[in-house]
Amino acid sequence: MLSKIYLLVRTQRFFTFLTWPTRILLTLAFLPSGLKKVIGARFTLMPVDTNVGFFFEALYRTGFYWNFLGLMQLTAAALLLVPRTAYFGALLYLPIVANICVIVTAMQFEGTPVVAALMLLANIYLLVWDYPKTRRLVAVIFQKT
């Protein structure tokens, strides 16, 4: 059933057209924050007496972990732009954007949960776009031993 839906969707020009802009927009979403983290700059200048400011300051003070987060964001973004690695980029993007969704919702960021949720949905779209690969990966993960 899902395979038939997948084949129907893959033949629609609209979805073919939608895939590249989705990859590009997701890449652009990670570039500024990823670059700031890689170079060791603060992401926000909010005061630490706010929940959001305190959270980002704590992350910033972790040092290497802050840089690592940025490196992973930039890696996922770059992989999305190369057709051969786009699926791996979407896989790498998934836990990062899911984590962002949880954080911005838990920290009660204003407006940001909506943006993060849309990014998560766009990322899931890319994973579904490569449904055969995703199906094989899920089968391997849940394979009974």
Angstrom distance (rounded) from CA 95 to CA 1? 28
Side chain identity at 44, as an amino acid letter?
T
Q: How many domains does the chain have?
A: 1
Instruction: Please name the residues in contact with 106: beta carbons below 8 A apart, sequence gap of 6 or more.
Output: none
Is 11 contained in some domain?
no
Task: Domain of residue 55: give its range.
Answer: 17-141
Is 6 contained in some domain?
no
Q: What pLDDT is stored for residue 108 in this prediction?
A: 85
Is 7 contained in some domain?
no
Is 104 contained in some domain?
yes
- pLDDT per residue rounded down to tens, the chain (145 residues): 777 888 888 888 888 899 999 999 999 999 999 999 999 999 888 889 988 889 999 999 999 999 999 999 999 999 999 999 999 999 999 999 999 999 999 988 888 899 999 999 999 999 999 999 999 999 998 886 5
pTM: 0.89
C-beta of residue 101 within 8 angstroms of C-beta of residue 55: no
